[in-house]
Amino acid sequence: MLGTLTWPLDARAGALALLGVVLVLASWADLRTGKIPNVLTYPAFLAALAWQAALAGQDGAIGLGEALLGAAVGFVPLLLAWKAGGIGGGDAKLMAVVGALGGWRFAVAVLFFGFAAAAVMALVVMLRRRIVKQTLGRIWQFLWLAAGGVEPGDPATATSPVIPFGLALCIGAAVVLADELLGGSITGAVFRSY
């Protein structure tokens, strides 16, 4: 289970407060410029590791090992997507920060809710532009060729809609943060078996 925050505030509350600040700044940058800058992600990542190392063993702290595991769980899947050309590098680095501050379970939950938010955002854009059929056709062709062992190429075109994926990740993180503040009934159900 992800856990719940307690009063007085513990080490986890501090980590999640720092994460909240990073998420607001990342959302603003992604909406404004379409990028999440290194000047945000690198210092935030170092601060996350320093926080977890300094407070290891205290109530709510996850420790440096769990922070590094969380960073890897958040970063690696999006690194692959970045290398494939599907997202920007700032999105992957943001998820490393999310994982370092929240831990691996938190990172998995954020990825789930972030991808869900991205899917809703993409659907809204496709509906507003009236390009659902052509977009789904390109995706189907891509999947069909890839399944047949043919190099399908990039299904996106110059007119393909772009969504701020970093914002979607921030929305996913906000959902997980809110759920944790409220006792973790949504995300806790996902992780009860672990």
Average pLDDT over residues 86-110: 94
Residue with more model confidence, 56 or 172: 172
pLDDT on residue 1: 45
What does the domain layout of the chain look like in residue ranges?
11-191
Half-sphere CA count of 57, side-chain side, radius 13 A? 1
pLDDT on residue 160: 74
How does pLDDT run across 121-157, given as a tens digit for each residue?
988 988 898 988 888 887 788 788 778 877 767 666 7
pLDDT at 194 over 50: no
Half-sphere CA count of 194, side-chain side, radius 13 A? 12
How does pLDDT run across 45-62, given as a tens digit for each residue?
999 999 999 988 888 789
For residue 149, give the DSSP letter: T
